Structure 1
Amino acid sequence: MNTDTAEAAATDTTEVSSPADGGGARRLLRRLGGPAVRTRLCTLAGVIILGVLFWRLGTGAFLDGLRRIDGPTLAAALGIGLVTTAFSAWRWALVARGIGIRLPLVPAVADYYRALFLNAALPGGILGDVHRAVRHGKDAGDLGRGVRAVVLERTAGQLALFAAGGAVLLTMPSPVRDQVRHAAPPAALGLLGACAVVLALRMNGAPSGRKPTAVRAMLAEARQGLLSRAAGPGVLLSSVVVLAGYVAMFVLAADVAGVGASVAELLPLALLALLAMSLPLNVGGWGPREGVAAWAFGAAGLGAGRGLTVAVVYGVLSLVASLPGAVVPVARWYAGSRDRARSSAPAAPEAPRPRPRTSELPAGPPASDGPGPVVRIPRQLPEVRSEKYASKESARAARSSLPFSAVPSEGRPMTPESV
């Protein structure tokens, strides 16, 4: 028994260390690192964050935020959402045109609204962007460029958020100003060092073959889509307007929640919450935003519960601002069904047009030949066709066609000369 057990253990060890099992382990790791697994893990992380917040702070802050929302607040949220969505769609259209894809503004606004609604309604917070990237790529006939256009557009928005957040958190009072000031010099030195390395490689004339073709194409598209003269100013302006709209939504949520703080005090807290929203550990945007808002408001002396209420109100207002995106698929489905019904309906036969009678035709111009008298051509009267007259004429023609026929005329008798 012991020998058999040892042999079985040796066999198991050999099988575990075999290359086939190593390949299986690698496949398992790939599956664990796949997009679907990452989405589920991020959703689970967002649920855990919300559960911890409700466990520590209770559900009173959540319910209090819902009770404070009224009709004028929802109307203001819809207005702010219209502005931010329109400018975001304009930024997307500019980036798409910069890399060589046509994207009209009106369809871009509709697709962006639908993407925002899907981001807010589905786990992960990015499935709407994935949908609009794939759809636009298929419509344009280039799936790769469609996806890269959305990636560059989202990158432009994140860069604007990071730049504004860094500048505000460095200069204005906030719970993390000291930490940011301590971390800013090493980060700036690292960025300068990376730029110096890239510049040195370009000045030394490194062989272009060392750089992959895909990387060169990606960098060229990034320059054309974000930094070109045609797209750069519009991308910058739209990013600033969109970020200002997000901050205005947060200030509106703080006002609804009853936070007695000025805009200057709320600005760093709003940027901290927006930076937390960029983390993929959320459920439709919920999770890190509420946690960071509760911590930041508590550190600023405004109360952690009040920060959670503000974050909840902001989340509800953002969801309401994206609700027009739910109408877009329904409207397009209805328009498509109507077009299919029209194309499948049999065409009605055209009624034959009546031929005009000869008397109804307009008379032609008078015929003239030089200075002589004008000869007018009379109009042709309509041909009268009747069964009675047609039978007599046919009979008369038949009789006259005989070689020896003689028809009495004007009452005169038939003579040998008439034969």
Structure 2
Amino acid sequence: MGLSRRQLRLVQIAVSVTLLTLLWMAVDGQEALRILRRADPGWIALAVAVMTLQTLLSAWRWKLIAGRLRQPMSYRHAVREYYMSQFVNQSLPGGMMGDAGRAYRMRKPAGLLRAAQAVFFERLSQQAGIFAIFAVTYVITTIQPGGLRWPVWLTSITAPLLLVCLGLPFILWFGWLLPGPQRRALQDLWSALEASLLGRKALPLQLPLALTTAGCNIFAFHACAMAIGTSLPLAAVLGLVPLILFMMLVPVTVAGWGLREGVAAALFPIAGASESAGLAASIAFGLVFLAAVLPGVLPILIRRRRVEAEDPPT
């Protein structure tokens, strides 16, 4: 018997709290707290500004993708929906409920499938940008002497992951050998992906958007590290920070809390920083991200008041 949605949320909250508690005890949480108290507000403000820019650019990217999938919308509407989606993602367990709601609310112009594809492709584009930055950095620092030294335990994880991700296009190609219904579904998915992201008209704009928004996320984390007095080398920023950010995609916690901090504490020593600094920087980034998406609560409140006005309680 599976868990209900409410039970699953409670489990995810429990996982986040448990991981953070264990990290607090294992990585000298008191030292991390002392580091956070000395955080430079200037760097924190810069991180919030960069994450705000990331949200505005991501909303524009979503608007462009949705438009190519026959879902036209104004930029203002895209920003409002994106802020609301980000706020829900950062507030509720799983990290995807805001995206699901965004797709559902935009289902009318072209149907729920196209709306879901637009949201999925938009998220995929950003993660692909982060992955591309990581992949290039990993290859360069591996073959170039004096680059970032990758421990054996980390290489045994990242190298297979890199090969699998690079092999995905070939896996999709073999999908054309599937029987009728599955092949048609794959053809439809590929056609939508080509029209919205990979086509000659879309790619010249989508590629720089993907790299820019990815860079915003990575730089914001770097700014949080600088705020607590930890200066990471460029190779570590471009190679290790993407791995930390990827942990936010694992839907077993609330917005990555706990997993992100654990990976940051494990990876910071590779760059010559302390585990406590990794924990503090990750906590600072989580708070910065939440602060940057706080405007998303406004459309939620406006929508709720509108519903109450149209259907007042008896």
Scaled to the shorter chain, the TM-score interval is: 0.7 to 0.9
Q: Are 1:112 and 2:86 an aligned pair?
A: no
1:313 to 264, 281, 284: 284
Runs of 4+ in 1 over 6 A off after TM superposition: 337-340
Indicate the residue corresponding to 1:162 in structure 2. Answer: 131
Aligned CA distance change for structure 1 residues 59 and 188 (closer, same or farther; 3 Å)? closer
1:251–1:263 Cα contact (<8 Å) kept: no
* TM-score normalised per structure 2: 0.83
1:195 to 170, 195, 206: 170
2:94–2:253 Cα contact (<8 Å) kept: yes
Q: Distance in 2 between matches of 1:304 and 1:44?
A: 23
1:324 to 280, 289, 295: 295
Which structure is larger by alpha-carbon Rg, 1 or 2?
1
Q: After the TM superposition, which residues 240-319 of structure 1 pair with which residues of structure 2 at under 5 Å, given as runs? A: 240-319=211-290
Q: 3-state SS of the aligned residue for 1:195?
A: helix
Q: 3-state SS of the aligned residue for 2:106?
A: helix
2:93–2:251 Cα contact (<8 Å) kept: no
Q: Distance in 1 between matches of 2:113 and 2:269?
A: 45
Q: 3-state SS of the aligned residue for 2:273?
A: coil
Q: Distance in 2 between matches of 1:114 and 1:59?
A: 32
Aligned CA distance change for structure 1 residues 61 and 314 (closer, same or farther; 3 Å)? farther
Aligned CA distance change for structure 1 residues 328 and 65 (closer, same or farther; 3 Å)? farther
In the alignment of these two chains, the number of paired residues is: 304
Q: Distance in 1 between matches of 2:135 and 2:194?
A: 23
* TM-score normalised per structure 1: 0.64
Q: After the TM superposition, which residues 9-408 of structure 1 pair with which residues of structure 2 at under 5 Å, given as runs? A: 28=1, 31-32=2-3, 39-69=9-39, 71-138=41-108, 140=109, 142-172=111-141, 173-174=147-148, 176=150, 179-180=154-155, 184=159, 188=163, 195=170, 198=173, 209=180, 211-332=182-303, 336=306
Q: Distance in 2 between matches of 1:210 and 1:147?
A: 19
* Matched residue type, 1:176: W
1:57–1:305 Cα contact (<8 Å) kept: yes
1:98–1:230 Cα contact (<8 Å) kept: no
Aligned CA distance change for structure 1 residues 175 and 279 (closer, same or farther; 3 Å)? farther
Shift of 1:294: 0.4
Comparing 56-65 with 217-226, greater Cα deviation is found at: 56-65
1:293-343, CA deviations, whole angstroms, 9 ceiling, x for partnerless residues? 101112333111111111111111111111111222234556x48997xxx
1:51-81, CA deviations, whole angstroms, 9 ceiling, x for partnerless residues? 2101212431442354234653453233212
Aligned CA distance change for structure 1 residues 286 and 185 (closer, same or farther; 3 Å)? closer
Q: Distance in 2 between matches of 1:123 and 1:141?
A: 29
Indicate the residue corresponding to 2:144 in structure 1. Answer: none
Shift of 1:185: 8.0
Once the two structures are aligned, what percentage of the paired residues are identical?
A: 29
What's the C-alpha RMSD, in Å, of the aligned pairs? 3.3
2:67–2:73 Cα contact (<8 Å) kept: yes
2:47–2:219 Cα contact (<8 Å) kept: no
Shift of 1:109: 0.9
Shift of 1:252: 0.8
Comparing 67-76 with 290-299, greater Cα deviation is found at: 67-76
Q: Name the structure where helix makes up a greater proportion of residues.
A: 2
Shift of 1:190: 9.3
Q: 3-state SS of the aligned residue for 1:137?
A: coil
* Matched residue type, 1:167: V
